Amino acid sequence: MGEMVQWCWNALGCEVVLASTDPQQLGRARALVANGLKEVDDRCSRFRPDSELSRINARAGDQVSISPVLCEVIAAALDVAARTEGLVDPTIGPALIAAGYDATFAAVAAAGPTVRLDARPACGWQQIRLDRSRRLLQAPPGIWLDLGAIGKAWAADRLAGIVAEATGTGVLISCGGDVAVRGEPPEGGWRIEVSELGPGEGHVETVVIDAGGLATSGTTARRWRRGDLMLHHIIDPRSGLPAETPWLAVSATGPRCIDANMATTAAIVLGPEAPAWLNQRNIAARLVGCDGSMVRTGGWPE
CATH number reported for the structural domain that contains residue 249 in this entry = 3.10.520.10
Summarised one tens digit per residue, pLDDT across range 110-129 is 888 887 777 788 888 999 99
Summarised one tens digit per residue, pLDDT across range 228-273 is 777 778 999 999 999 999 999 999 999 999 999 999 999 999 999 9
Let me know if residue 99 belongs to a domain: yes
198 closest CA partner among 264, 245, 248, 155 = 248
Rounded Cα distance, 62 and 65, in Å: 10
Let me know if residue 207 belongs to a domain: yes
Percent residues over pLDDT 90 in the chain: 73
169 closest CA partner among 13, 22, 63, 60 = 22
Let me know if residue 172 belongs to a domain: yes
CB 253 within 8 A of CB 212: yes
| Total domains present in the chain | 1
The pLDDT value given to residue 103: 65
Mean pLDDT of 138-157: 92
Let me know if residue 78 belongs to a domain: yes
Summarised one tens digit per residue, pLDDT across range 148-202 is 879 999 999 999 999 999 999 999 999 998 999 999 999 999 999 998 776 667 7
Instruction: Look up the domain containing 61 and give its range.
Output: 5-297
Let me know if residue 302 belongs to a domain: no
Rounded Cα distance, 174 and 203, in Å: 20
Q: What is the pTM of this model?
A: 0.92
More confident residue, 271 or 226: 271
The pLDDT value given to residue 92: 93
Let me know if residue 202 belongs to a domain: yes
Let me know if residue 246 belongs to a domain: yes
State the DSSP H helix or E strand holding residue 236, giving kind and residue range, or none if neither.
strand 235-236
CA dist list (Å): 249 to 213, 238, 246: 17, 20, 9
Let me know if residue 184 belongs to a domain: yes
Average pLDDT, the chain: 91
